[in-house]
Amino acid sequence: MATAIFYASSTGNTEEIASKIIDKLGLEDSYNITDNQEDVKKIADYDKVVIATSTWGDGDLQDDWDEAWDEFQKIDFSNKTVALVALGDQEGYDDTFVNSLGTMYEQVSKQGANVIGFTSTNGYEFEESTAVQDDKFVGLVIDEDNQDDLTDERIDNWSEQIKADIL
């Protein structure tokens, strides 16, 4: 079965990152749950998924993910390969940097997912993050506010890293 990307975007940044990942990986199926939160249920139809979110406030999930969270928690992720992506602001929220990624990781792991695409924390400056496990981020981390010049390189490297397992 094909791989799909699921994302939500309040300002358009996550949608732009999702679009770059779609192009880089050649994904055909994508769902913007900002347009339809019920689309989160379609995750169950795929064996391989990319999930992208931004981080709001003090480490919170983006609003549409938050509103779809009850349905998201019902999905059986066992036998699914999952790659996670999060956007955050390491300067403005250095003590909760990309905590939404940590929230997603905790939930899909608890539900049995095989999570791939861990990335280095090198090159980021932050105090704390629930998205760090064993000194690595549990997915791709993008900071469009402070390091947008590194975004394309980070997407390219991460896409190459996960390609064999996600496609």
Buried b (16+ CB within 10 A) or exposed e, 2-39: ebbbbbbbeeebbbebbeebbeebebeebbbbbeebeb
| Max intra-chain CA distance, the chain | 40
Domain residue spans of the chain: 3-166
The pair of structure tokens assigned to 112 is 């049995």
Tens of pLDDT, residues 121-145: 999 999 999 999 999 999 999 999 9
Q: What share of the chain is helix, strand, coil (3-state, %, to 5)?
A: 40, 25, 40
pLDDT band at 14 (very low <50, low <70, confident <90, very high): very high
Tell me yes or no: is domain 3-166 CATH 3.40.50.360.
yes
Cα 120–chain centre separation: 15
User: pLDDT > 70: what percent of the chain?
Assistant: 99
